[in-house]
Structure 1
Amino acid sequence: MCGIVGFINQNNHLNKDDLLVMLDKIQHRGPDNLSISIQNNVYLGHARLSIIDLNSSSNQPMQYKHYTIVFNGEIYNYKEIREKLQEEGHIFKTQGDTEVIIHAYEHWGEKCQSYLRGMWSFVIYDKEKNILFGSRDRMGIKPLYYIRKDNFLSFSSEIKPLLGLEKNLKPNMSVVSTYLLTNLMNYDNQTFFQNVYQLEGGSSFKFDISSGKFEINRYYDLAESIKNKRESTTSDFNKVLDKSFEIHVQSDVQVGTCLSGGVDSSTVTAKVSSILKNDNIKSITAKSISKETDETKFAKIVADHLNIDWHVVEPDYEYFKTNIEECLYYQEEPVGGPSIFMQYAVMQEAKRQGIKVIMDGQGGDETLLGYERYYSWMLSDLIRKKKIIPFVKEFPRIVKNSKLGYIDLLKQYVYFNNFKLRVKHLKKRHINMKEIYSDLAVDNFRKLGYENKNLEELQILELTKTNLPTLLKNEDRNSMLASIEARVPFVDHEVIETSLKLPLKNKINKGYTKFCLRKYLESMVPKTISWRRDKKGFEAPTDIWLKEHMEVMKKYINESSLLKEIYTVLPELDNISDKEIWKLYNLAVWEKQYLSK
């Protein structure tokens, strides 16, 4: 896991010092080695976090023949690919995965992407053809941002290094207004900054330096990949998940896990512990100071049962106050809520414990219908298929085995299945937002097509456009700030494809979400964990923190020129929810950190 930067210096308006400045801004991503390569007008930089093959021969930028690569991520099947290439006559000098990618590119060209299993963003300079080729993994686990103007191209693992190359920084008002109204982010290639884009998951770019031609291609489409696949079985699911865990634990350094005590994190911790035989395993839990959001008792049950080295961090308000702006700065764009700070605290504690690779449960909810809103869409699917009796039977089952009561479930069903109602509700919460901006936000929301999708299509939308991309981005920033590689075995593309093709009864059964995963887990931990009904997940004590932080937030909000541009009158903070206050505050902090210079 590392950080990469680079640019094409067409008009000699940039130099080596500019590259070093860019690299310095991401050195937290790879403090083990910082190196650069300058060939003709192609400038490449790499910050290395050594995880596999710790030898300096695997440092980057790495050259092979007329190819130079900078790579961020892990290729979990690199040994198998290396064997295939060796059979074709390729000779390797290192034991790492970076060299495998560059040989794979030489052998298969752009098709090499389809052979890779893992998480990555990489850029290869082909000196002979004078082109740059960049790629991002199928699900977009590892980030890749770029600026493209005329004959100029720059790229980076984070946004900050690019901002110094953009002289006239402006907010992307389409993204900003959509965030405020709907809380949606990362739903396309745009960012909160004008002219700064992200390469979307499952995509690659090719830049012909001689002609200036720049093109983006999609090499992987989740919907297309599962279109003709047969229905999965629980045996298929168990097998592919076992394989994912086996390949994700490969490491030459300390491995740890995030442990909330929920189904996903408990599965990760139990499997990692089982595979590595408790060798060198540490787990980190964030304890909430609010009894309503604290899950420590569940995490303790798992830790005691598995007999692992368990560490608890309990961020109080003073810790929040001292560190929240650093957390937000390194996120680079506004985030959905203060719970991200619990993850920040976990990663900082993991760093103190010497962990360099941490396993997490992101993706389990999106693939196996773990969120409460999926009940509403499941019920809607039953109605669409005219399955009235199953529809009626599901209501008491859901109420029995979830946190929802009948009234709450009915409200959610009506709300999530009525797009016009959702839009009306969202606009009502932002009654003073100028029409030009609320219309922008609603248009972006409508384009996602929530109102016209069946349950599988909604899962694909949340996996590729709305929910998971944001969670992955947040975790990347929090983990890399602590110089830690975060791995997400549920986001392996084979796990996702297999999960999507499971029958509904394997995902929601008798009111239980993630049914097949609970069955997978129940032999490894006590049933009080595998059959938990009160889903949380490192929730922050939002009501406590924001109440204490109110004066600070008011100051930021009242001083924000951006918010004054968006609203005819700034919202009355006493009349809106904590969630809406947070977004106003977060956007005001972002404005001050990145635009007020």
Structure 2
Amino acid sequence: MCGLVGQWRLDGEAVNFDALIHAREAMVNRGPDDAGVEQCLNGSMAMAHRRLSIIDLSQSGHQPMKDLANGNLLVFNGEIYNHQELREELVCSGCVFSSSSDTEVILHAYRHWGRSCFSRFIGMFALALFDQHKQELLLARDRFGVKPLFYSRDSQQLSFASRLKPLQLLRGHCQLDSQALGQFYEMGWVCGSDTLIEGVRKVAPGSCLTFRADGHCHVENFWRMPTRLAKATPWTDSSVDELDRLLNDSVRLRLTSDVPVGVFLSGGIDSSLVAALMAEQSSEPVTAFTLGFDHPDYDESRYAKQIARHLGCRYEELVLSPSGLLAEAERVFPLSDEPLTDPAMLPTSIIARLASEQQVKVCLTGDGGDELFLGYRLHQVMERFRRLEQIGPLAARAMAVLARFLPAKRYALIRGFLQQPNFESRYCYLRAMVSGPLGESWQALAQEPFSRTLNSSFGATRAAELDIRSYLPEQLLSKTDLSTMQWSVEAREPLLDHRLAEFSARFAVPDLMGKSPLKHVLQRYLPNELWDRPKQGFNVPVDDWLRGPMFPLLDQLRDEWEDDEWLSRGKICELVDDFLIKGSTKGNFIWALAAFVSWKNNLQQWSSKQAFG
């Protein structure tokens, strides 16, 4: 795991090396073990790198890495889990290796297979590769967007980085994108390849961008969510066997490391399954890290402890103390590339720090199980409504009439849902009620051309695909990357293996709903009484936090808010007063706005010209 940054001066001028090194050192937490810089094209192309050594701890894995056969230059953040199998295949084709690093495998794979090599990788990665012969720069990102990659270009230069801050240090100017800001207010994140910064974009998950010196950019998607089969495969005992094998192999690959590997264990289905498969394959006890809450409605640590004991894990638990939350938030907020609206970033950060203190540099997580195997309640809602619409439009109207007899808030929610014009709008409506600071407009993901790229039709599978394309990379994985890499800990997600996505696409919705396939496998490794309970999710008592130890964030929000075309300071004060005086339960929305204020304040410091609009 690492941090990368680079620049290509399209006007032929030399890259400012001092600025490049300064940008690289802004990512030292992503790679404290080694640093490098390299140039080509008489200095008009330069790359810099910060390394967190996980595989091949020697200097043989130093980056940027150059292919001595053709001069190609590579910087890479992530892990190619199947690099050993690819190495064997490449050696049989005549390739000669000088290290055991997966970085060198990428260079040989590109030389041998070209851009098609990316579809062969099983892993998480964000990389920049300069093809010396073709005079082309390739930016590529893994299928699910586990690792971030930002870029910016104009007529004079093309800059790229793992994080927004080093990119801004190279660009020097900063202007908020008004349309993207509207999306953020609606959803709690920015959709697709856009960012909150005008002129800065993200490489989309599963894509490779090829840039030429004349500024032309070719976009190629090397993977997309598979289209669900019209005739589903029946779910049988052999399906459980196949999924068991796939899960075991996914965990096996992600246990590849030259440093200690642990697991973040919440006690839920996903992390418990990962921990069980790790214990099955490990010769030594697995180290499990769990965070407890002093609030009983949110604490699952007792379940995690029972599971760890059953699996023979070395159990490390930390109970979250409210007294340190404000300091943790003030430390984490400025690190975000874009405002992270999920307050679970704090406990994730704290548990990553615990792993770092125990000298565990790699931890497996349970991220991805809900998205691939329909685990969210939102999936159930969208599927039920799809079935209701199949009955006929009168059924939806009857639902609206019956909803009038429900409590006012529930009626307003259902009425708003039914008034949305299409599926994407309804999905966005429900997601925004959870994540969006405003929760009043839900059109972001319904806009073309984004919705045209979806493969699923309607119902739960389309909602899950929207989750995978938007919520997963922009919220969940961004949170995990930020929270772990600040402590120089690498998080790995065995449930986000594309082979599992392709497996799930073969089956009907009823066979997948509620993560039923994962439960079938889990009961082979853990007794049902240890995990079979209602889904709780990784939630946090954000309302209590903001009314208690984190109250100063509310004052900061009111004092430092600057009016824009979407929200005035008066509206912000009204939201806060409703929360404090009238007891509204909009803590998540207020948290998101507080994160935005902190992020915006720090963004001004990142821009060397201090030109902020």
Q: CA deviation at 1:141?
A: 1.1
For residue 51 of structure 1, what is the aligned residue in structure 2? 54
Counterparts of 1:123-272 in structure 2, within 5 Å, are 123-183=128-188, 185-209=189-213, 211-224=214-227, 231=233, 233=235, 234-235=239-240, 236-272=242-278
For residue 582 of structure 2, what is the aligned residue in structure 1? none
8 Å Cα contact 1:255/1:280 also seen in 2: no
Q: 1:109 to 1:285 in 2, by over 3 A?
A: same
Counterparts of 1:276-295 in structure 2, within 5 Å, are 276-277=282-283, 279=284, 281-295=286-300
8 Å Cα contact 2:56/2:101 also seen in 1: yes
For residue 80 of structure 1, what is the aligned residue in structure 2? 85
1:575 matches 2:578: yes
Q: 1:416 to 1:285 in 2, by over 3 A?
A: farther
- Matched AA of 2:197: F
Separation of aligned partners in 1, 2:226 and 2:253: 25
**Partner of 1:205: helix, strand, or coil?**
strand
Separation of aligned partners in 2, 1:525 and 1:412: 39
**Partner of 1:197: helix, strand, or coil?**
strand
8 Å Cα contact 1:244/1:492 also seen in 2: yes
Percentage of identical aligned residues: 27
Separation of aligned partners in 1, 2:432 and 2:150: 31
1:274 matches 2:277: no
For residue 519 of structure 1, what is the aligned residue in structure 2? 520
Separation of aligned partners in 1, 2:160 and 2:510: 44
**Partner of 2:175: helix, strand, or coil?**
coil
Q: Decide which of 325, 332, 341 is 2:337's aligned counterpart.
A: 332
- Matched AA of 1:575: D
Q: CA deviation at 1:549?
A: 4.5
Deviations 1:308-343 (A, max 9, x none): 111112222221111212212222211223121110
TM-score for both structures, normalised by structure 1: 0.88
Separation of aligned partners in 1, 2:217 and 2:142: 19
For residue 127 of structure 2, what is the aligned residue in structure 1? 122
**Partner of 1:486: helix, strand, or coil?**
strand
CA RMSD of aligned residues (A): 3.2
**Partner of 1:490: helix, strand, or coil?**
coil
Q: CA deviation at 1:426?
A: 10
Separation of aligned partners in 2, 1:505 and 1:551: 44
- Matched AA of 2:218: E
Specify every segment of 5 or more residues in structure 1 that has no aligned partner in the other structure, as ranges.
392-404
**Partner of 1:575: helix, strand, or coil?**
helix
Separation of aligned partners in 1, 2:435 and 2:249: 47
- Matched AA of 2:180: V
Specify every segment of 5 or more residues in structure 2 that has no aligned partner in the other structure, as ranges.
397-405, 580-585
For residue 4 of structure 1, what is the aligned residue in structure 2? 4
Q: CA deviation at 1:87?
A: 1.3
Separation of aligned partners in 2, 1:260 and 1:426: 23
Deviations 1:200-240 (A, max 9, x none): 0011111222x33233222222145x568973742332222
**Partner of 2:5: helix, strand, or coil?**
strand
Q: CA deviation at 1:525?
A: 2.0
Deviations 1:125-146 (A, max 9, x none): 1222222112111111111110
For residue 585 of structure 1, what is the aligned residue in structure 2? 594
Q: CA deviation at 1:495?
A: 0.7
- Matched AA of 2:57: L
- Matched AA of 1:219: F
Separation of aligned partners in 2, 1:135 and 1:27: 22
Separation of aligned partners in 2, 1:407 and 1:196: 42
TM-score for both structures, normalised by structure 2: 0.85
Separation of aligned partners in 1, 2:93 and 2:435: 61
Q: 1:102 to 1:313 in 2, by over 3 A?
A: same
Q: 1:443 to 1:125 in 2, by over 3 A?
A: closer
Q: CA deviation at 1:280?
A: 5.3
Deviations 1:531-555 (A, max 9, x none): 1214222x22212211125642233
For residue 558 of structure 1, what is the aligned residue in structure 2? 558
Separation of aligned partners in 2, 1:410 and 1:499: 35
Q: 1:270 to 1:414 in 2, by over 3 A?
A: farther
- Matched AA of 1:357: V
8 Å Cα contact 2:266/2:272 also seen in 1: yes
Q: CA deviation at 1:178?
A: 2.1
Q: CA deviation at 1:252?
A: 1.1
**Partner of 1:164: helix, strand, or coil?**
helix
**Partner of 1:373: helix, strand, or coil?**
helix
Separation of aligned partners in 2, 1:411 and 1:564: 28
**Partner of 2:310: helix, strand, or coil?**
helix
Separation of aligned partners in 2, 1:460 and 1:129: 36
Separation of aligned partners in 2, 1:320 and 1:78: 40
Q: 1:562 to 1:429 in 2, by over 3 A?
A: farther
**Partner of 2:571: helix, strand, or coil?**
coil
For residue 535 of structure 1, what is the aligned residue in structure 2? 536
